[in-house]
Amino acid sequence: MATDVEIGARRIRVTNPATNELLREFEYASPGDVADAVRQARAAQPVWEQTSLEKRLKVVRKFQRLLSERKQQIARIITSESGKPYVEALLTEILVVLDTARFLLGESFEFLREQPVRHGSLATKTKSGRLLREQYGVIGIISPWNYPFSIPATQSLAALVTGNAVVLKPSELTPLSAFELASLLREAGVPENIFQLVPGDGPTGAALMESEIDKLVFTGSVATGKRLAQMAAGKLLPVVLELGGKDPMIVLEDADLDVAASGAVWGAFVNAGQACLSVERCYVHRSIYDSFVSLCTERAKQLRVGNGMDPETDVGPLIHDRQLRTVDRHIEDARDRGARVLAGGKRLPSRGPNFYAPTVLADVNHQMLVMREETFGPVLPIMAFDSEDEAIRLANDSEYGLAASVWTRDRKRGERIARQIKAGTVMVNDAVSCYGISEAPHGGIKASGIGRTHGKLGLDEMVRTKYVDVDLMPGTRKPWWYSYGSHVANAAEAFLDFQFASKLRRRLIGGNRSIPLISRRKL
């Protein structure tokens, strides 16, 4: 959904990117509003923290039921403000959130249970250790427009089930989905001050960062993520940053061409290419290059572009004109440098203001912007390679490292190559859908960000880890306490031999000579 904000205005105008229809207006949350929301969340959070996990999961279960019952209504809202096809709103947004609830219901008890820590050292055998996971307090979440329901919902549910309060700033382009999320959570039983929305744009997000939150989870551009990371560093504020990608797809000579071509077309054009996990670079073995390019071109031309509310639509509009300008710039640069435009390559003004034809580019190279910068549009650039090593080198030749895919009939070969690709996730014979695997962590390396969401690693980001150690002999002075002396140093050396010397005889001698470390008089 596009948003128009008049200079000096205090209202967000949310419009349908397919039609430019005005959907709703909101007032911005001022910096004072943001600070108040965080203060209210902090005051309410201790009660939520003390609420039993069983009761918090009861809320998640009710939320899941409500979402399932209202899936059509919410999917239509997602489509109206983001433009994506209705079926994608169901499968890439609603389904993902429902499954996240299923994961949390099944895993939270085990995850939050205290864990014993075994001590291997002889010096600490009289101690008992436990690992505890405790709440941060208030988690600030800044979410993007491309998945306006599933991204904030999955992150918020993880924060809430672990006992945190949440203050969410949704994208100013797509706040309606976030308001639906808030409505569902409150009806499910989340107290009002435990989950709060602060609608707004960049300054609102900056105000959230400057407030007294305990952690920030941000999904968005690299440039904004770097600025937030610099601000966080000054406060020593922990952050999770998911900053996009330039995901490579490697198609080996033994791949199923029919399947791989379909995967490439879907992976490049789902959500009009506006996904951080989109296939943005496709590398194909030269022996099958022409056939693969032909299949992708044929299928791209068959895609139906239109309003996401039309059940026949395959590809919806881009979110706003800025995205179209980026796509135009990348395609023109590629064309000027010798790439062939085999499908698309143009806007579709007859469909509406923000439509772009699904585009297939052949004969691209790494001097072109389309192979180096994140395009975030319906573009599939395809490049040939001659060897497996070259394909791996090309895939790794990027500042991004979010995800990648390898396509081959040889599973072991695919897994071996996957281990050599520098990315947070590598799929073999599929792309993009890793985000829908609730057990799998989501996040990248290099410019793609810091930290993880989803799965147990995502839950780990929502808690502080505390180690508790209890001495089982509280009436005994410890061997390492004062006072020191040469006899203590000699006994300490012997004790190290007793534990770690390579020869048995030296260990036995060390054990005998280390006795004074225990029996000596201590302060």
pLDDT in tens, 335-387: 999 999 999 999 999 999 999 999 999 999 999 999 999 999 999 999 999 99
How many other CB atoms are found less than 10 A from the CB of residue 385?
Answer: 21
Q: What's the token pair of residue 337?
A: 């440098």
Question: If you average pLDDT over residues 263-282, what whole number do you get?
Answer: 98
pLDDT greater than 70 at residue 2? no
> pLDDT band at residue 518, thresholds of 50, 70 and 90?
confident
Closest-CA residue to 378 (of 364, 357, 350) = 357
3-class SS string, 37-86: HHHHHHHHHHHHHHCCHHHHHHHHHHHHHHHHHCHHHHHHHHHHHHCCCH
Q: How far apart are CA 391 and CA 397, in angstroms?
A: 10
3-state SS, residue 500: helix
- Counting beta carbons within 10 angstroms of the beta carbon of residue 246, is it exposed (0 to 12), middle (13 to 18) or buried (19 or more)? buried
Domains assigned to the chain: 2-10+53-118+136-243+456-466 (3.40.605.10), 247-437 (3.40.309.10), 473-519 (no CATH)
- Spatial CA neighbour of 169 closest among 214, 235, 217: 217
DSSP 77-113: HHHHHH---HHHIIIIIIHHHHHHHHHHHHHHHHHHS
Q: Which helix (H) or strand (E) holds 201?
A: none
Alpha carbons 2 and 176: distance in angstroms, whole number: 12
Task: Just list the catalytic residues.
Answer: 242, 276
- Convert the pLDDT of each residue in 135-192 to its tens digit: 999 999 999 999 999 999 999 999 999 999 999 999 999 999 999 999 999 999 999 9
pLDDT for res 366: 98
SS3 state at 427? strand
